[in-house]
Each structure stands twice: as structure tokens, then as C-alpha cells.
Amino acid sequence: MTIAITASRRASELAHIIKSFGGRPYLAPTIGIEAYLEEPKEDVLKFLDKAIAGEFDYAVFMTAPGIFSLFTIAKRLGLEEKLIHSLSEVAIFARSLKPATALKKHGIKVSMIPEENTARGISRLLITRGIVGKRIAILWHGDYPQHLREELYKAGAKSVIEASTYRYSINLKKEGASILKSMGYNYAVPSEKRVIRLIDDIVARKIDSITFTSPPSVNDLIKIAQANRLSHVLKKSLNTHVVIVAVGPSTKNALEENGITVDVMPQIAKMGPMVKALDEYISTSNRSTYRTLKKN
């Protein structure tokens, strides 16, 4: 099978796993990151100021790259020790084990991690913990979903401060690339031309399956398709002759919100289990006719 990879951050690792199962990886990253390390955005500076001043009770960290870049900025500003001290005084929540591990490297203990590693899971965990009158700070990934902030205010939060040290971009620019390289990721560089070629190959039935490892990898693919008037034909092709694989619930939701039905999602939201789940899906089907096992 030819299996498309839309990830950039761990594309080579995912390609290796696909090869180990006998598949043929097709690298076409749909997402990169655009970071602001040397000239931090106002929301990040505000986050640092309020953190150091002790102006929130709970701090939520969504991604490891966000944490890495936040501490890189704090160090450049001479605020790293103050930031660490301040964060040790508040309850810390991490979306998953990856940001929890990144925080641990700075000696910061995480109070809780939700069972569901999504913004919705974080919301439920915080509300269960009790947020009436609490001041909450959230360091996001490249997007700011409004629903989490709204849910927290409805549940009685006193204030919600949000920041992001990077933005999602189809182009993996210099500072974004430096973050991933410093964190030890072997990344594939995305480009719009490559993504358009992926869409053409999907429509031409040259792709058997496509993997998505984050909601932005879905959203950016659709944005590029829409910009090039290929959205309708892309979705039709995906829903008729391509096996769609999502790494976890939030990615599955993003696909479904864009009108794409997911065929495979592992119980454990990791790349290895994801590829194994795809292998099992194909193995339990008729290998010669798996293309017809779609929704039609």
C-alpha cells in the first residue's frame, strides 16, 4: 500500500514504522510552524509577565514545542529562573505526556493529565478540579480554539489568559525549524506545491491510505485544496477510495468536521499503534478489494 504522511515533525519516524509493516510511505507534510523567538508576540510577553507576577492559579500547557520555545524566550529575556519559580507555585496541567515531559526537564511538576488528550479533555479536567474564581493561563499550540475559553468562563473562571509561541504555517520557516531541530525531531519540510501534488495523486487513485496526526494537518490540507478549487474532488476521493487514518479523537473530529469519514483510529493515540491498527484493518478485509470497503 502507498500510505501518505501529512505530518512534518516526526515524518521520518512514521515512514520507518510504515516500512516495517511493508507499506510504501509517501511524504507530503501539510503543516509547518512559524515561530517568534527573537521577537516574541505580545500575548507571550503578557503570559510571562503574569506568570512571574503570580497572577494565575492554574497553568495549562498544550504542546512540548510550545514549552520549549517559551523557555527559550524566557532565557533570552533573563526570566527563566523567575518563570520556573512562579510555575512551581501553581497547579500545572499538561495535555499529554509530551508536554509533561518537557516541563519535567525544567523541574516543573505536573499536577494532572487528562485521559482524553484534547482541549475538551483539558476543559473537563479543569472543571472537575474546580475553577470558580480561579485565574487560568493556557499556552496553546498554533491555534486558539474559542470553545475552551468560553467553557471555562461559563464554569466560573475569573480570568483566562491565552498565548501561543508559534503559529501553524504551510512553510516551516527558520525559527520554527530551529525549535524542532533543537528538540531532536527529524522533520520533513512542507510546501504548497507538494501538497497540491498529493491532492492530484489522491484523485488519480495513486494513494491507498492517508494518515493524519493532528487537527492542523487536516485543516491545512483542506485550506490548500479550497484555495486551489480542489476541495470537492479531494473530499469525494478521500471518502470513496482512500483509507483514512486518524491518530486520535481530536484529529478524527477535525476530519469529520471537514466532511471526511475516518476508517481507522487506534485505541492508543500514538504512531505505532496507528499503523498497527491500519494493518489490522486491511488484514481483516479482503486485500484485493479493500478499496471498495469505504462508505460507498
Q: What is the C-alpha to C-alpha distance for residues 8 and 245, in angstroms, rounded to an integer?
A: 16
pLDDT-derived band at 186, boundaries 50, 70, 90:
low
Residue reference for cell 476521493:
237
> 123-137, 157-171, 174-188, 260-274 — which is least confidently predicted?
174-188
CA dist 120 and 248 (Å) reads: 13
Provide mean pLDDT across the span 191-212.
Answer: 93
Q: What percent of the chain has pLDDT over 90?
A: 60
Average predicted confidence (pLDDT) for the chain: 86
pLDDT of 184 > 80? The answer is no
Round to whole Å and give the CA distance between 274 and 145.
25
Residues 83 and 51 sit within 8 Å (Cβ to Cβ):
yes
pTM: 0.67
Asked whether 37 and 175 are in contact (CB, 8 A), the reply is: yes
Helices (H) and strands (E) in the chain, counts: 13, 10
From the CB of residue 256, how many other CB atoms can be counted at a distance below 10 Å?
14
Which of 27-41, 172-186, 231-245 has the least mean pLDDT? Answer: 172-186
List the one residue out of 32, 63, 20, 27 whose CA is nearest residue 211.
Answer: 27
Whether domain 2-31+190-293 has CATH 2.60.40.10: the reply is no
pLDDT of 189 above 60: no
**Is pLDDT of 287 > 60?**
no
Q: Where do the domains of the chain lie?
A: 2-31+190-293, 34-169
56 pLDDT exceeds 50? Answer: yes
Question: Which pairing describes strands 166-169 and 32-35: parallel, antiparallel, or unpaired?
Answer: antiparallel
Phi/psi region, residue 198 (left: phi>0; alpha: psi -120 to 50; beta: rest), is: alpha
Residue 286: pLDDT over 80: no
Residue 96 has pLDDT above 60, yes or no: yes
Q: How far apart are CA 235 and CA 78, in angstroms?
A: 49
Q: How far apart (Å, rounded) are the C-alpha atoms in residues 188 and 159?
A: 38
Give yes or no for a contact between 262 and 242, defined as CB atoms under 8 angstroms apart.
no
pLDDT of residue 188: 54
Contacts of 229 (CB under 8 A, 6+ apart): none
The CATH-assigned architecture of domain 34-169 is 3-Layer(aba) Sandwich (3.40)
At which residue does the C-alpha cell 507534510 appear?
A: 29
* pLDDT(200) > 80: yes
Q: Write the Ramachandran bin of 156: left for phi over 0, alpha for psi from -120 to 50, otherwise beta.
A: left
Pull the grid cell for residue 214. 493532528
Task: Lowest mean pLDDT of 22-36, 82-96, 228-242, name the range.
Answer: 22-36
pLDDT at 295: 47
Q: Do domains 2-31+190-293 and 34-169 have the same CATH topology?
A: yes
Higher pLDDT, 103 or 33: 103
HSE at residue 166, side-chain half, CA atoms within 13 A, is 31
DSSP of 50-68: HHHTT--SEEEE--HHHHH
